[in-house]
Each structure stands twice: as C-alpha cells, then as structure tokens.
Amino acid sequence: MVDRKFIRNLEKSIGYSFFDKELLIQAITHSSHDQYVNYEKLEFLGDSVLQIIISNFLFNSHNYLSEGEMTVTRAYAVCGETLGQAGNGMQLDKYIFIGSSGKKKKINKNKSVLADVFESLTAAIYIDGGLEKAEEFVLGKLACYLSEYINSGDNKDYKTKLQHLTQELFGKEPRYKLRGEKGPAHDRTFSVDVYVNEKQCGKGKGKSKKKAQQSAALNALGKYDRKGTF
C-alpha cells in the first residue's frame, strides 16, 4: 500500500489530483519494479496525446508560424531532452518506483526515464480527467520551454534541429549531398538530399545550397515527426 502522504506530495508536484490512484501508481512504475504494473503502455498513449496537445496549442496560439516552424517546435517540445528537463523540474526522480537493479544505476535520475514518466503521466491524466486536464498539465509544464524556443528563433533553423535529433538518436550528424542544379547563373535552383545513417531521408530545393539544405532538413524532420523513424 502506497503512503497517502507520498501520493499527496506527488499530486502537488504534478498539479493534478487523481480519482484513480492506481492509475497514478502505474504511471510512475518503471519496468524494473515488479510489484506494480509498469508505465510502458501509458507511455505509448502519452506520446500521441502530447503530439495532439502541442499541435493544437501551436495552431491556435502561434498560427503566425509556418508549417515548418510548427513542425520543428513540436518536435522540440516532445523530445526526450525537453521532457526530461520538465520532469527534473517537477522532481519526478523522487517518486519513480524502480527495482533494486535500477536503484544501483540511479535510473530514476536519467533524463530519458524522466521523459518516459512525463509521457505516462500525460496519458494517465488524459484517462483519469480527460483531454482538458491533460492539456492543463502539459502546457503548464512545457509552455515556458516553448516560448523560449520560439523567441530564440531556433525553430527556423531546421539543419540544427535535425543535427540535434540525429546526434541524440544515433550519435551522428546528417550528411548533405548536392543532387543537382538548374537554371542560369543568376537564377540557380539547387537540389539537395540529406542522409542519416547512410539512408536518404529528405529532399529539398532552394535558390542557394544553404536554403536547399534547410529545405531537405525540414523534409526529413517532417517524415520523422509523422513516423517516429527515418
């Protein structure tokens, strides 16, 4: 039986009080812990709920952004680094149930685990209280990161975003290859392909090589955002 004070403190940190306390316990239980059902299925659902909430927020509150800027901003908001920071800010590491093997490795302080728990909590709140409550939780914890990112202008730099993503996923930078160029010298159009792990994952065109690379990076980010893979 989980201590009531523990539950109250956790709910205070989250900013939401659960009707179904067992759902909350599941949302903070790592797979290394064998006493309760773990959060993996909730994490799966939470990823989709997050995408909807952030997409809706950007569409309604930042409609001046281009589709590409929205795509990059959403990718930033739901990436492991951002969610891990948010989880750390909520001190979720104090509340995650982990097994003895996990305690030795201190996996509760791992940003990827904190990000997973953020996603599972999003799903749990969605199930327990509906989309509106899940939205309050997500935007309450991520709005400051979104505003800072948009104001910095980084959401316009698709090459940098793709580089950060591929380094996080594979420890490698993307590679750009000039596919061709057309038109007179004063009005050239360049075509560029971008490769990740030697796999072609995006195409782009532009009036300069740099703009074509940005276009290819955006194309690759859009594919990843829809499929979760290159």
| Per-residue pLDDT reduced to its tens digit, 184-215 | 888 889 999 999 888 999 999 999 998 899 88
| Per-residue pLDDT reduced to its tens digit, 56-115 | 999 999 888 888 788 888 888 888 889 999 999 999 999 998 887 767 678 888 888 999
CATH hierarchy code of domain 158-227:
3.30.160.20
What φ, ψ does residue 212 adopt, rounded to 5°?
A: -65, -40
- What's the mean per-residue pLDDT of the chain? 89
Identify the helix (H) or strand (E) that includes residue 95: none
pTM more than 0.75: no
Domain-by-domain residue ranges, the chain? 4-154, 158-227
* CB proximity list for 204: less than 8 A, separation 6 or greater: 191, 192, 194, 212, 213, 214, 215, 216, 217, 218, 219
Model confidence at 160: pLDDT above 90: no
CATH hierarchy code of domain 4-154:
1.10.1520.10
Q: Report d(CA 201, CA 93) in Å as an integer.
A: 36
Q: Report d(CA 198, CA 15) in Å as an integer.
A: 44
Model confidence at 226: pLDDT above 60: no
pLDDT-based confidence at 41, cuts 50/70/90? Answer: very high
Give the residue numbers annotated as catalytic, written as ranges: 47, 119
